[in-house]
Amino acid sequence: MNLPHNIDFNYIFSHCDQSKFEIPHYYDKQNWELGETYRMRVSNIYDPSKFWIVVKEQELDVFQRFLADFYNKYSSRYKMSLNSISENMYCTAFTENAFYRGLIVSIPHSLTLDKKVIVFLFDFGYTCMVNLEDIYYLSEKFYEVPRFAVRASLSDLQPHSEHVWNYEVVKRFDELVSKKVLICVVECTDPSRRIVFIKVGSVKDELSDVVDIGITLISEKLARSTSSKKSTTKIKNNSRYIPTTNYPHLFPSFEAIEGGIVPSSVYISEMLRQCVARDVLFKPYFAYKGTSEK
């Protein structure tokens, strides 16, 4: 494909109304049947209640190769200038030695000094900081391909003896699903927020039995069933902080994570280890027992 050299792409993209463009979500393209089994891979994890999956694995791999080939050839023509960048703007970001489609979700006030923006890489469900010099306009040809990553949550599962998922559980969950052949069964869906609630299983090969990830976490006393009437496990009540919501492990929301509003679960666990107050880290969801907050 040969592009004319006399086109000013910077001018064209900075003057077009991007609100007229909307990249569809794969969630809306898939007919999610309850009880149906899908092959999948986990693309990013916040915790067992909030992670992102990709069902169309091969299509994503092919798409990423095409995206890389295109921008390796024409990236200089799609370079985004400082004065044209804005929040909620689609882009192509170069990070970790690869090109990704993304949405600019936050621009620091000190952009002229830091020259970094927060981008949500929606094909993988990953939010990161990207240098301004590595941000490009997204070619219109890539708007028709749906966002590959789908919001997912392990169904009927909650922390074993705490209000929120801790680092050890997140780490173990990552070990169980990373680089594994996975299948999932859809238990429930939330169309308004585009979330699938699933049971996840891993298999070593076609002849192996399916290992239920949720049951594994329960057997290792890292999680417990939300609906089981037999569960007698009580939440540890020796904390100075009490939750202000019924299900604090479901927070923060996918929207907050994707918008770069909250830090990673690993960072939060480290802050808790360093004795940072829980109601400081989770201000909307926890209150100090000595206060009158509800």
Domain boundary among 147, 164, 194: 147
Beta strands at 150-154 and 195-203: parallel, antiparallel or unpaired = parallel
Instruction: Choose one of 96, 125, 147: the last residue of a domain.
Output: 147
Q: Are residues 166 and 278 in the same domain?
A: yes
Q: Same structural domain for residues 186 and 271?
A: yes
**Chain Cα centroid distance, residue 275:** 27
Residues 168 and 133 reside in one and the same domain? no
Residue 120 lies in a domain: yes
Domain containing residue 94: 57-147
Tell me if 2 is assigned to some domain. no
Domain check: are 132 and 93 in the same one? yes
Considering its fold, how many domains does the chain have in total?
2
Predicted local distance difference test score (pLDDT) of residue 15: 45
Same structural domain, 73 and 202: no
Asked whether residue 164 falls in the same domain as residue 225, the answer is: yes
Decide if 26 is inside a domain.
Answer: no
Alpha carbon dihedral 95, 96, 100, 103, in 10-degree steps, equals -50
Find residue 103's DSSP bridge partners: 90, 120
User: Last residue of a domain, which of 147, 174, 201?
Assistant: 147
- Residue 46 within any structural domain of the chain: no
SS3 217: helix
9 occurs within a structural domain: no
Whether residue 162 is found in the same domain as residue 109: no
Q: How distant is the alpha carbon of residue 2 from its chain centre?
A: 36
pLDDT at 11: 46
Q: What is the CATH number of the domain that holds 91?
A: 2.30.30.140
Along the 294 residues of the chain, how does pLDDT read in single tens digits? Answer: 455 444 445 545 554 555 557 899 999 999 999 999 999 999 999 999 999 999 999 999 999 999 999 999 999 999 998 888 899 999 999 999 999 999 999 887 766 667 889 999 999 999 999 999 999 999 999 999 999 999 999 999 999 977 788 889 999 999 999 988 899 999 999 999 999 999 999 987 665 688 999 999 999 999 999 886 554 445 454 455 555 555 667 788 999 999 988 766 555 555 555 555 554 555 555 555 654 444
Q: Do 174 and 279 fall into the same domain? A: yes
Residues 31 and 53: their CA atoms lie apart, in Å, by: 15
Same domain flag for 175 and 281: yes
Q: Are residues 166 and 262 in the same domain?
A: yes
Evaluate whether residue 14 is within a structural domain. no
Asked if 119 and 209 sit in the same domain, the reply is no
Instruction: Please give the pLDDT value at position 83.
Output: 83
pLDDT of residue 227: 81
DSSP-based three-state secondary structure for 225:
strand
201 in any annotated domain: yes
Query: What CATH number does the domain containing 163 carry?
Result: 2.40.50.90
pLDDT at position 272 is 53
DSSP secondary structure letter of residue 235:
-
Asked whether residue 154 falls in the same domain as residue 264, the answer is yes
212 within domain boundaries: yes
pLDDT for the residue 261? 83
